[in-house]
Every structure is written in structure tokens, then in C-alpha cells.
Amino acid sequence: MIKDFITKLKDFIILNQGEEIYPEEIEEVYTKVAPVKEMCVFTVSGMGGVRESKVLWAVIQPNLDEFRKFAVVNLHLAIKEKFDEISLSLPVHKRLKGFTITLADLPHTLFGKLDRYAVKEVYEPRVREGIEGALPVLDELTASDQLLIESESSIKILECLKEISGIKRPIILEDSLELDLGIDSLGRIELASCLQLVFRVEIKDEAISRAFSVKDLILGITDTLREAKGIRPEEDQGAPLVPGYWKKHLQVLPKDEHLGALEFSNGFFAWSLRFIIIAINYLILKLFFRVKAEGAENVPKEGAYILYPNHTSDLDGPAIAACLPRRPVFQLFYFVFIPYFFRPFIKSSFLRNLVKMIRLIPFDYSTHFLESLRSAYLVLQMRKGLCFFPEGLRSVTGKVGKFKKGFGVLAKETRAKLVPVAIEGAYEAWACTAKYPKCHPIRVRFGKPLLVEDLEKEGLAMGAQDCHEAICVAGRKALMELKDKK
């Protein structure tokens, strides 16, 4: 007891190997690189069932105003990306092993200082159990919140949320759309359609894209309804995901900003610039990474097709380009992730034209995701090839992660041929956790084209809940089998 009391009086915490960690120093480093309102670092014991283990963890209250400026809704993804980058500059024992996001205020002492031990007491059990999001509501709702949640429009909004999220328990105002209800970027698109069917009113993008909690969403939709003078909510018209739902959305031409970024021209200047870039890329990959291709003849020479590789490194795209036959390499478009807080650099005319010439379709997981999917859909309708990383982001472990639903949606609605691509060695050459690349051989293996119908049938037999998930599940299985092939 005395030992514990003395430890609490210290300004540092001790890890398994005896290293002393000053939590305020760690908090200062991480809060400089991400929009964090407040952060608390502490140790969590017993992770993975090992009682003696201690890992460095953080509870984060994000600065929602900063995220709203960029219409960023995937809080965990955006913060993790920033934290992974800064972690490379820290000694291994000072790197966070993970973090929990909360929209609630962190507890403080009577003197206004962060109560680190109260945070640990509340959140450590939740971290061990893998729980994230809203804390249990102990107090009764305020009179205004009670009126808000009992209103006719709120009841209908909650019904839509239950339909899209599949949540069976009662939904509360403090629930995070992302962390508690699991509503991602595609889920928000579906939610917008559901709400428009229910209310027969055009729902502004901001009302959904800038909502982090259920309360944010209800207030935003209520303002929209208030502005729609004389229009009252009607009865629910049924599920938004009727047959043809996604095709109807994807067939809409992208906005001018996105449409103008697509380069379909084969003019001399565009062809010459692309040739120079491809040649330089080929030389670099051959000289420094001894890139080798297998099964390149499996890549279709014409027609719509999607190359879908595993994703562990920034070298994945260049490695594929260095291994493609001549015709496909000049026709291929790349669906690539653009970090949220760097997206404004696309406004630079030079970089914008460069992105256009090398045929990149930039996307993020905020309000631009649907427009990027529409651009990819148009590319495939023009019978061009597309390189699509179905895991979304690079794997930090080198293993094939879960496929995102957007891959299944695009494959299902375009019926393009799917070509699995297994990349080996790129993770060792330049993992996402490494600061600089190193010379290491890379091998790119192209599998035989697969039909969407076959993957859909196989995925449903494997227990997938819908056709899009079925394509993702069976497609991932085919990629892993190709990767394990000797």
C-alpha cells in the first residue's frame, strides 16, 4: 500500500523493463501532430491475458472543430496515421501501443489538473475488454436532451441509425457514429439516403459529414428540417438499399473538380510524360529492389479489370507499375489514399497536373469518398484498368487485412474482372513503420482473372451477410492463396 502511494506521487511511470516514462512528455509529442484537445497517457496491465504485461496507452479527446474543418469523420484512422508517423522518431519504449478515443471530457482534480489516476481507473478495464466510445450514462438526461430524443424527427433518425448500423441495443445521444455504431464513410452515404427517404427532404452533406455523435446528427437534421419550410416528415418509405441502389449512385458523373482530374487522353505530350515517369520508375525498382514479375500475362490487355494487391508499403504501386506489360501499364489508373490533412496540396496546379498525368484517383474517407468511387466507376466504364487496394491503408504487420466494403461495391456494380496481385518483399523494403527504404528484392505475382459472380457465390457460401461482403471475403481468400503459393 505504501509503495503504491509513493508511486502515485511520482511524475513518471515504470514499464516492464524498468524504463521510466514521463507521461506529460509523451503527451506533448503526440498532441503536436494531431488535432487533440486533451490526452492522458498511462499503462495498461494484463493485455492479451498476460497479467504481468504493461503497455503504454492513451485516452484521447479529439478537437472536433479541427476535424470539422476538413470534414473528417474517421477519427481513429486520422489520428492513428499521425501517431504512426511521429512514433518513428521516438525510442521503442516511448511509443504508444494504442489509444482510445472518447468524446467525453476527461476527469480533472479540484485544481483543474488532469486526474491521471481517475482516467486509468475508468478506462483501463475498457481497454482490456476492447471497448471504445461512449461511457455508460449514469445521470438522467437534461430536460432539453429529453425533449430532443423524444421528438418525432429524432425517433425516425434513431430508426434509420438502427437500420444502417444493425445495432440492437437502445441508441443514446452520446454514441459516436464511428466508434459505437460502426458507421463508416459508405455507411454515412447509406444513412443520407435513408434519411431522405424518411423525411422527403434533401439532407445537406454537412449535417451528416460533420456529425460525430448521435446528438450532433439529430441537431443537424433538425436544422435541415427547420429550413425546409412547410415540409413535414412523412412515413418511412422502407430500406434505402433497394436493388440498384449503389449503381444509381455510382452512375452519377463526378463533380467537375474530380472529373477534371481524370486523364483519358493519349495525346503525344501526355503519352511522353507518362512514358518518362514509367521508365524512371522501372529503373529505380530494378536497380535498388531487383523487382521481379510472375504471371504478368494474366493481366487483361483490354476491357475493364481491377488489380487488387495486398498493401504493406508505399512501394506497392510503383512495383506493380514496373511489372506490368506495355499496354496495361499505359492504361492503368490507381485508386490511392490522400491523407486528410494533406488534401489541400492538390490545389497546387503543378501537383494536380502531376496526379492527373500519372492517372491517380485520390480518395479519403471523408466527404470525397463517394466522388472518388464515381471516378473509379467511370474509369471502368471507359474499359480501362484500375489498381485498387482493398485493405484501404497499408498493413502495419505485413499480413493481409480485412477488405473494405468499397471494393465489393465497385466490383459488384461494374462486373469488372478481378485480378489478385500478391506483393512480397515490399514490406521488408519499406514498411509503413520505417522511416527510410532499404534495398530488398520485391516480387509481384499476378493471379488469373476472377469473375465477380463466382466470388459472390463463394463468399455467400462462406457466411457473408450480403453480396458486397461476399466479394470481399472470397476475394481476400483468393489473394491469400496466391500469396502463399510457392
pLDDT digits (tens, 9 = 90+) for 326-348: 889 998 999 988 765 445 545 66
Q: Given pLDDT bands bounded at 50, 70 and 90, which one contains residue 294?
A: very high
- Contact (CB, 8 A) for 292 and 444: yes
pTM: 0.75
Strands (E), 366-449: 385-388, 417-424, 443-446
Q: What is the pLDDT of residue 104?
A: 87
For 384, counting Cβ atoms within 10 Å of its Cβ (0-12 exposed, 13-18 middle, 19+ buried), the class is buried
Instruction: Tell how many helices (H) and how many strands (E) occur in the chain.
Output: 21, 12
> Shortest CA distance to 380 belongs to which of 422, 412, 337, 421?
412
> For residues 29 and 25, what is the distance between their CA atoms, to the nearest angstrom?
7
pLDDT, mean of residues 293-297: 96
- Contact (CB, 8 A) for 423 and 387: no
Q: What is the pLDDT of residue 45?
A: 85
Phi, psi of 469 (to 5 degrees): -65, -35
Q: Kindly report the CATH class assigned to 143-242.
A: mainly alpha
pLDDT of 236-255, one tens digit each? 344 455 667 888 889 988 88
Residue 220, helix vs strand vs coil: helix
pLDDT, mean of residues 304-320: 96
- Contact (CB, 8 A) for 418 and 458: no
> For residues 334 and 246, what is the distance between their CA atoms, to the nearest angstrom?
21
Q: What is the pLDDT of residue 345?
A: 46
Q: What is the pLDDT of residue 281?
A: 96
- Contact (CB, 8 A) for 365 and 391: no
Encoded amino acid at 220, one letter? G
Instruction: Give the orientation angle of helix 452-461 with respect to helix 467-484, to 10 degrees.
Output: 100
User: Given a cut of 70, is residue 354 above it in pLDDT?
Assistant: yes
User: Given a cut of 70, is residue 235 above it in pLDDT?
Assistant: no
Q: Indicate the pairing of strand 360-363 with strand 332-337.
A: parallel
User: Given a cut of 80, is residue 401 above it in pLDDT?
Assistant: yes
Residue 5 parent element (H or E): helix 2-9
DSSP secondary structure letter of residue 365: S
At residue 58's C-alpha, the angle toward residues 57 and 60, to 5°, is 160
- Rounded to the nearest integer, the mean pLDDT of the chain is 85
Q: What is the pLDDT of residue 417?
A: 97
Q: What is the pLDDT of residue 238?
A: 41
Residue 481 parent element (H or E): helix 467-484
Q: What is the pLDDT of residue 10?
A: 47
pLDDT of 13-43, one tens digit each? 666 566 788 899 999 999 998 889 999 999 8
Q: Kindly report the CATH class assigned to 249-484.
A: alpha beta
Measured from the Cβ of residue 265, the count of other Cβ atoms closer than 10 Å reads: 11
Encoded amino acid at 268, one letter? F
Among 152-166, 410-424, 439-453, name the one with the lowest average pLDDT: 152-166
Domain boundaries along the sequence of the chain:
2-128, 143-242, 249-484
Q: What is the pLDDT of residue 343?
A: 54
Say whether 143-242 and 2-128 share the same fold: no
Phi, psi of 446 (to 5 degrees): -95, 125
Alpha helices, H only, 340-466: 349-357, 369-381, 405-414, 426-429, 452-461
Encoded amino acid at 204, one letter? K
Q: Which CATH code fits 2-128?
A: 3.30.300.30
pLDDT, mean of residues 404-408: 92
The position carrying cell 452515404 is 189
Task: Please indicate whether residue 393 or residue 424 has the higher confidence score (pLDDT).
Answer: 424
Q: What is the pLDDT of residue 241?
A: 55
Q: What is the pLDDT of residue 232?
A: 47
Residue 21, helix vs strand vs coil: strand
pLDDT of 49-108, one tens digit each? 556 678 899 999 999 888 877 667 778 888 888 888 888 888 888 999 899 999 889 999
- Produce one character per residue of 198-215: b if its CB has 16 or more CB atoms within 10 Å, e if not: bbebebeeebbbbbbbbb
Encoded amino acid at 58, one letter? A
Separation in Å, CA 120 to CA 41, 117, 464: 9, 5, 38
**Percent of the chain surpassing pLDDT 70:** 88
